[in-house]
Structure 1
């Protein structure tokens, strides 16, 4: 099993902490977010991980070296010259990910979602991508039909709606920042662009391909994107860290 951890974000909502460190190394009770993500992937059976870096990227390189790469194969996808967004980040790491279905997680997504089961469900679904989603309030939603297939996306603040399939009674679900993706996704990436969102690719591919929801409302989940969430993250850490 292979995976990529998105760790290149600027972490602007966690300032002033991220004025001197990358968001991925912000600690929760002494455990950097990146460490938590790696340990969870390792516990799920993942032995090959690539981490993209940008903001204070050298600190992430030094951290992984100090931890002896947690005893597994951890590679770096270096975006220090240009931040590539989620789609561009995957495109740059294609050389590492293209041989088999892989997991994707944001470094700041804390959850006790069973990653092994999530990955196996993706394999059984024979989908292009499987997206972990929840019912919660947000400004942006994926839109799924009655059988959980992606049909569109909406931004409730701006009123923008983008449809890949025109189907009735679409259900809005909020993305948890965790995907399982088949390598055929790379066929849908724009040939010329280097900076683009994976959301754009999903919406384009969903017109012809199966991209499906994986509801996990029964799990613990938190986006550690702001100081208040960081303070609350310590309360769920024991349930999130693998034993």
Structure 2
């Protein structure tokens, strides 16, 4: 069994006054759909149903919303009366676990493929796997030729990977959490310690990643969710007669809407038949898709 752990105790000071009365993880990214809703459902859809919430600030509001059992998920609450740092919070949680765990920062919304992360971790000998993703530039990028401006590219993905705040920790690595460290954050203690031992690996995933640190971040995230509906396989974005369907690798989708589909990225089985990037098909009946890679499909009405 793999456990899910979410750091959910932050104050969200840079999001005041929105967080004066509620914790950051309860901020809505669309109507009646919170950051924590998304995080919990990500775990559920990957097959993880036992979750530990490491809470503190206004944690009773979190328990009021989710209780001990929500949407088929068992939820355990570990409460910090005052902020002690992520290292202490993780130590307090790990002692209850008897198997591997995926740990996530609670102030980030992403489409990281947790099934693929689990598969990757189980195939490798690393004690810790860190999900890495490409980050969008906060600004438009200017392309030049000599001193002549050729074009502006609106907020492109940077050619560097950043820590996505999602970690797969194997049970054998738990003991290193309890070493004597001077700092109280895992990014400055436990993780560097394992890096120095050569037992930290990377999991690359270029799907959507949205940190929520300030009002601009929250605005960008809410813009992403205009017309977007999260599903157990990924999501669907609606735009008049066109839908963008994102299906994660190892996930299966059943789509009732018919029309012309184009594989923009990825590959998989369409009604049991292989289909690849660039192919176009007309679909006249509800259809099944099993993704072999993270796949984006454009669906247009006939």
TM-score interval w.r.t. the shorter chain? 0.7 to 0.9
Using the TM superposition, give the Cα deviation of residue 60 of structure 1 relative to its aligned residue in structure 2, in angstroms.
0.9
- Separation in structure 1 between the aligned mates of residue 107 and residue 115 of structure 2, nearest angstrom: 19
Question: Higher Cα Rg: structure 1 or 2?
Answer: 2
After TM superposition, the structure 1 = structure 2 runs for residues 1-243 of structure 1, keeping only pairs within 5 Å, are 1-30=2-31, 31-65=33-67, 68-79=69-80, 81-97=81-97, 99-136=98-135, 173-191=161-179, 196-199=184-187, 200-216=189-205, 218-237=206-225, 238=228, 241-242=231-232
- Separation in structure 2 between the aligned mates of residue 183 and residue 103 of structure 1, nearest angstrom: 11
Q: Which runs of 5+ in 2 are unaligned?
A: 138-158, 234-302
Using the TM superposition, give the Cα deviation of residue 46 of structure 1 relative to its aligned residue in structure 2, in angstroms.
0.4
TM-score, with length taken from structure 2: 0.63
Q: Which runs of 5+ in 1 are unaligned?
A: 139-170
- Separation in structure 2 between the aligned mates of residue 188 and residue 203 of structure 1, nearest angstrom: 11
> How many pairs were matched up?
207
- Separation in structure 1 between the aligned mates of residue 164 and residue 179 of structure 2, nearest angstrom: 28
Query: Deviation per CA, 1:120-153, whole angstroms, max 9, x where unpaired?
Result: 1111112111111134489xxxxxxxxxxxxxxx
Using the TM superposition, give the Cα deviation of residue 56 of structure 1 relative to its aligned residue in structure 2, in angstroms.
0.7
Point out the structure with the larger strand share.
2
Using the TM superposition, give the Cα deviation of residue 181 of structure 1 relative to its aligned residue in structure 2, in angstroms.
0.7
Point out the structure with the larger helix share.
1
SS of the equivalent of 1:96 reads: coil
Contact 2:129–2:167 at 8 Å: present in 1 too? yes
- Separation in structure 2 between the aligned mates of residue 194 and residue 56 of structure 1, nearest angstrom: 28
- Separation in structure 2 between the aligned mates of residue 29 and residue 49 of structure 1, nearest angstrom: 23
SS of the equivalent of 2:51 reads: strand
Q: Which has the higher contact order (CA 8 A, sep 6+)?
A: 1
SS of the equivalent of 1:82 reads: coil
Query: Deviation per CA, 1:53-100, whole angstroms, max 9, x where unpaired?
Result: 1111111111112x8422221100111x12222221110001333x21
Using the TM superposition, give the Cα deviation of residue 189 of structure 1 relative to its aligned residue in structure 2, in angstroms.
2.4
Using the TM superposition, give the Cα deviation of residue 172 of structure 1 relative to its aligned residue in structure 2, in angstroms.
6.8
Indicate the RMSD between aligned Cα atoms, in angstroms. 2.3
TM-score, with length taken from structure 1: 0.77
Flag the 1:226–1:53 CA change in 2: closer, same or farther, 3 A.
same
Flag the 1:193–1:202 CA change in 2: closer, same or farther, 3 A.
closer
Using the TM superposition, give the Cα deviation of residue 223 of structure 1 relative to its aligned residue in structure 2, in angstroms.
0.3
